[in-house]
């Protein structure tokens, strides 16, 4: 199952989905974790507590948000895959980050958590049958398939990895 198999494309989430290479989903999800592992954690640690602009998240908050996002997207995929037809709510990412206390944790613990979470996500997705992948539901006001949600997970991480590289690490030279 590839990105090009998503039809129709959910408009709101298209910006994330387009960041995913048109390869098998399992490869895209593995690649996103691999790219995260390639980031210099020592450099990130030196950024501890800093933001790239006033009102923006710290590196730890960004990392924690990626895990929160994956949990929410995977839950949505689970609900829709299992045939739940109730509209699923959005999430206020800033409220989640505000109440998560990510800055009290180590960057290493946040990265380890995301890796464990990804293994759980792969377990969930790896056992879906074809009808489950095609089921559609409403999440955050957008109608979408389980297939699209799975790609949102990889694309959301890719988006934030790009933010990390372009706005945090570039400034460190």
What are 44's strand-pairing partners? none
The domain made up of 3-172 has a fold known as 1.20.120
pLDDT, tens digit (0-9, with 9 covering 90-100), for 113-138: 999 999 999 999 999 999 999 999 99
Cβ atoms < 10 Å from Cβ of 41? 14
Tokens 């974790």 correspond to what residue?
Answer: 33
Q: Cite the DSSP H helix spans in 38-167.
A: 41-46, 59-81, 93-98, 107-126, 130-134, 146-163
Q: Confirm if 58 and 44 have CB atoms less than 8 A apart.
A: no
Length of the chain: 173
Q: Confirm if 60 and 168 have CB atoms less than 8 A apart.
A: no
- Closest by alpha carbon to 137, among 91, 92, 90, 83? 83
pLDDT, tens digit (0-9, with 9 covering 90-100), for 56-106: 999 999 999 999 999 999 999 999 999 999 999 999 999 999 999 999 999
Supply the pTM of this predicted model. 0.93
């Amino acid at each position: 199952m590839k990105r090009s198999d998503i039809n129709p494309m959910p408009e709101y989430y298209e910006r994330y989905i387009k960041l995913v290479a048109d390869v098998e989903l399992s490869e895209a999800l593995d690649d996103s974790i691999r790219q995260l592992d390639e980031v210099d954690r020592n450099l990130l640690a030196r950024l501890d507590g800093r933001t790239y602009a006033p009102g923006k998240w710290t590196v730890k908050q960004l990392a924690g948000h990626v895990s929160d996002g994956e949990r929410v997207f995977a839950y949505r995929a689970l609900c829709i895959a299992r045939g739940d037809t109730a509209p699923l709510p959005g999430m206020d990412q800033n409220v989640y980050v505000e109440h998560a206390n990510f800055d009290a944790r180590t960057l290493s613990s946040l990265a380890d958590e995301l890796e464990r979470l990804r293994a759980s996500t792969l377990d969930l997705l790896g056992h879906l049958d074809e009808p489950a992948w095609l089921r559609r539901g409403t999440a955050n006001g957008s109608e979408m398939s389980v297939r699209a949600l799975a790609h949102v997970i990889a694309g959301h991480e890719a988006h934030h990895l790009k933010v990390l590289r372009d706005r945090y690490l570039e400034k460190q030279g």
